[in-house]
């Protein structure tokens, strides 16, 4: 496997409102990511949107992010037969940022029924705030079928913290894009087979499976460019405005903060165990899978070292 | 309003397995409830099932329940014009029981579009266990439309307690009846308009709206007698076998128990605030609504007195 050349240092302009952005501002990182991902992966319906969201996110986070932390053979990997390949990038938050790390992963895997493509964009926050994490995941199995998992993942026990719901989910009107998506006749709710994964989402989580049926590729493209793109940008905008940055959280005592740290740790480690540790070794050779999982585990465990 | 005569003391035979029950065992309370509810309320599609579940529950709980705690004018009430009427019963758990209280309510309310009938059967547990509460609610607006809310309401922060999910939701296979119901072409997921209420459910909660369309009353009857009845009895059976009784819970330290007590309190008071305090005064005269709400608030606040 040819190791890809690393990207030039990413734009580190000061954070600015998503709405006041000039598209030129983002050209450098966007073109870099575009070129890298497009050269490595086959064309995909959700590709352009995922690239756009990743670039918007990274540009807005700017100097809050340290450079990529992963080695070349994780930033680009494949199985022996070359039928499955992937890219994982992790960028830790800079000192003083509310970001713990940004994870971006692209997977293309041959499966008996064709191919499955999974794109994930995750921002975990650290304990300087209790504001939600950001999660965007596309799972595409063919040109007419897409699963979308889009949420501001809560960090408090919601049944116990009604104010938290008001602050991040009610007052932000983040349920609106969910309603729009679930109105699509092609969308049905998506349920994770894992009861644990079902339990981590917020009450406004967008968890839908969109199926356009045979010959529905054009319709799917229209839906992705329309309702799905609007939802992704809307939820990202809310996260950037209301969740990202120190001072965004609700008030917490020391005990509550410690509980949140322990809770975050369980959510991260269980999510990896259920999602990646169970699936990556089936899709890639064990040494590749282990190498990739190790990088994610390292990022998730990092908070531990700052604990007493 | 004619006050109904109170029922004779309910069956207090020792708890026995739901599956080994003899139907004769339940005759006394079932006939009493049947007669009382049937004389007060117009016929309803979900009526027979709700009566059956309530009788099964009450008979199985047997001596774990104290006699009814509510006055006659709460056990039976109506608005001035006699177009809306209801019945609320609350029975506290006996000393040594895991039951905090059993709440049973029947409402029939004229609304501009016709009538709405709401039947609720709730068992809240006390702090002798962390095993889930039981919740069954039917909301029927006409003969072809039914909302079903059926769940074992969790009492721990599920994202933080994967073992709790395994014990009460994974190992009991309680997701099966949910899957069966959601397979019905007439069923769509029901979302509470309240984000808080959405946050209290388990990952296996059955929250569906069943619509059989014009002329679909026969189909609705078939669904209620079939899939809905199976689901209600299955979930009740799991609750009775795995959640009811002391010694059913997972291990808890003193701190965890205290957290659970505080959490239970928030869930109960918020649920009442959102569900009843907001709606009953619109459906009944304020003095009637206040009287009914006061009885529920009294039951929900009761745990407070046992706190240090």
Structure tokens at B272: 């009442």
Structure tokens at A71: 């080695």
Task: Find the helix or strand (DSSP H, E) in which B301 lies.
Answer: helix B286-305
Residues 93-152 of chain A with CB under 8 A from chain B are none
Q: Which two tokens stand for residue B136?
A: 């069954």
Burial classification of residue B76, based on how many CB atoms lie within 10 Å of its CB (0-12 exposed, 13-18 middle, 19 or more buried): buried
Q: Which residues in chain A are contacts of B270 at CB distance < 8 A?
A: 162
Task: Tell me the residue length of chain A.
Answer: 308
Within an 8 Å CB–CB cutoff, is residue A184 touching chain B? no
Q: Quote ipTM for the complex.
A: 0.87
- Chain A residues in contact with B177 by the CB 8 A cut-off are none
Distance of CA B49 to CAs B30, B53, B176, B237, B241, Å? 12, 6, 20, 15, 20
User: What's the CA gap between B166 and A24, in Å, rounded?
Assistant: 50
How far apart are alpha carbons A99 and A303 in whole angstroms?
12
Closest-CA residue to B212 (of B147, B149, B145, B148) = B145
Sequence-distant (≥ 6) Cβ neighbours of residue A196 within 8 angstroms = A270, A274, B158, B159, B162, B165, B203
* pLDDT at residue A37 in the model: 87
A185 touches B at CB < 8 Å: no
Class in CATH terms, A21-305:
alpha beta
Name every chain B residue with its beta carbon within 8 A of the beta carbon of A175: 195
B92 CB-near residues (< 8 Å, 6+ apart): B65, B66, B69, B99, B100, B101, B299, B302
All residues at 6 or more sequence positions from A198 whose CB lies less than 8 Å from its CB, including other chains:
A191, A192, B203
A199·B262 Cβ contact <8 A: no
Rounded Cα–Cα distance for residues B174 and A283 (Å): 31
The answer to whether B170 contacts chain A (CB < 8 Å) is yes
Q: Tell me the shortest Cα–Cα distance from A159 to chain B, in angstroms.
A: 5
Chain B positions touching A270 (Cβ under 8 A) are 162
Q: What is the per-residue pLDDT for A5?
A: 27
Q: Are A162 and B266 within 8 A, CB to CB?
A: yes
Nearest CB to B162 within list A159, A259, A270: A270
A244 DSSP 8-state letter: S
Q: Is B282 on the interface with A (CB under 8 A)?
A: no
CATH (residue range B22-305): 3.40.1500.20
Is-contact A152 A235, C-beta < 8 A? yes
Q: CB–CB of A267 and B195 under 8 A? A: no
**Three-state DSSP state, B138:** strand
CA distance A177 to chain B (A): 14
| Residues in chain A closer than 8 A to B195 (CB atoms) | 165, 169-170, 175, 203-204
DSSP code at position A158: G
User: How confident is the model over B236-280, as pLDDT tens digits?
Assistant: 999 999 999 988 999 999 999 999 999 999 999 999 888 888 788
B102-110: long-range contacts, CB 8 A cutoff, minimum separation 24: B102/B57, B102/B58, B102/B61, B102/B65, B103/B296, B103/B299, B104/B54, B106/B37, B106/B40, B106/B41, B106/B50, B107/B283, B108/B41, B108/B42, B108/B84, B109/B83, B109/B84, B109/B283, B109/B284, B110/B83, B110/B84
How many CA atoms lie within 13 Å of B10's alpha carbon, on the beta-carbon side? 24
What is the rounded CA–CA span in Å between residue B209 and residue B85? 24
pLDDT at A31: 55
Contacts of B13 (CB under 8 A, 6+ apart): B25, B59, B62, B63
Q: Is A169 on the interface with B (CB under 8 A)?
A: yes
Q: Burial code of A84-122, b = ≥16 C-beta within 10 A, e = fewer?
A: bbbbbbbbbbeeebbbbbbbbbbbbbeeeeeebbbbbbb
- For residue A223, give the nearest of A147, A115, A167, A158 by alpha carbon: A147
B181 contacts in A (CB within 8 Å)? none
Cα separation values, B229 from A308, B152, B235, B236, B272, Å: 53, 16, 10, 11, 27
For chain B, residues with pLDDT lower than 70 are: 1-31, 303-308
> How many CB pairs below 8 A link A and B?
66
A189 touches chain B (CB under 8 A): yes
- Report yes or no: A157 at the B interface, CB cutoff 8 Å: yes
B contact test, residue of A159, A202, A267 with most B CBs within 10 A: A159
User: A272 φ, ψ to 5°?
Assistant: -65, -45
Element (H, E) at B99: strand B99-111
The structure tokens listed for B105 are: 């309510």
The DSSP secondary-structure symbol of B92 reads E
Which of A74, A126, A123, A76 lies closest to A103, judged by CA? A123
Return the ∠ at Cα A22 (arms to A18 and A23), rounded to 5°.
100
Chain B: closest CA distance from residue A71 (Å): 31
Tokens of B216: 């679909």
Q: Who among A195, A203, A262 is closest to B199 (CB)? A: A203
Give the pLDDT of chain A (308 residues) as one tens digit per residue.
Answer: 232 222 222 222 333 333 333 333 334 455 578 888 888 888 788 888 999 999 999 899 999 999 999 999 999 999 999 999 999 999 999 999 999 999 999 999 998 889 999 999 999 999 999 999 999 999 999 899 999 999 999 999 999 999 999 999 999 999 999 999 999 999 999 999 999 999 999 999 999 999 999 999 999 999 999 999 999 999 999 999 999 998 899 999 999 999 999 999 999 999 988 888 878 888 899 999 999 999 999 998 875 433 33
């Amino acid at each position: 496997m040819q190791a890809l050349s690393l990207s030039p240092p990413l734009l580190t302009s000061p954070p600015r409102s998503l709405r006041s952005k000039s598209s030129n501002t983002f050209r450098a990182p966007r073109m870099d990511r575009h070129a890298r991902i497009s050269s490595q992966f086959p064309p995909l319906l959700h590709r352009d949107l995922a690239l756009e969201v990743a670039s918007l996110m990274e540009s807005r986070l700017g100097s809050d992010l340290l450079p990529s932390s992963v080695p070349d053979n994780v930033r680009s990997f494949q199985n022996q037969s070359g039928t499955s390949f992937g890219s994982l990038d992790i960028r830790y938050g800079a000192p003083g940022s509310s970001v713990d790390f940004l994870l971006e992963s692209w997977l293309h895997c041959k499966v008996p029924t064709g191919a499955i493509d999974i794109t994930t964009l995750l921002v975990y926050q650290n304990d300087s705030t209790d504001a939600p994490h950001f999660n965007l995941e596309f799972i595409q199995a063919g040109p007419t079928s897409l699963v979308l998992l889009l949420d501001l993942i809560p960090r408090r026990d919601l049944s116990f913290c009604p104010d938290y719901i008001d602050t991040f989910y009610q007052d932000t009107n983040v349920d609106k894009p969910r309603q729009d998506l679930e109105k699509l006749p092609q969308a049905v709710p998506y349920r994770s087979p894992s009861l644990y994964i079902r339990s981590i989402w917020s009450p406004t989580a967008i968890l839908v499976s969109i199926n356009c049926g045979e010959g529905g590729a054009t319709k799917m493209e229209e839906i992705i460019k329309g309702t799905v793109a609007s939802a992704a940008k809307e939820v990202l905008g809310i996260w950037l405005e209301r969740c990202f940055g120190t001072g965004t959280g609700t008030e917490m005592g020391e005990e509550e903060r410690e509980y949140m740290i322990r809770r975050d740790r369980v959510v991260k480690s269980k999510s990896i165990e259920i999602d990646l540790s169970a699936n990556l070794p089936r899709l890639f050779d064990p040494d590749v899978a282990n190498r990739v999982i190790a990088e994610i585990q390292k990022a998730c465990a990092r908070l531990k070292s700052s604990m007493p």
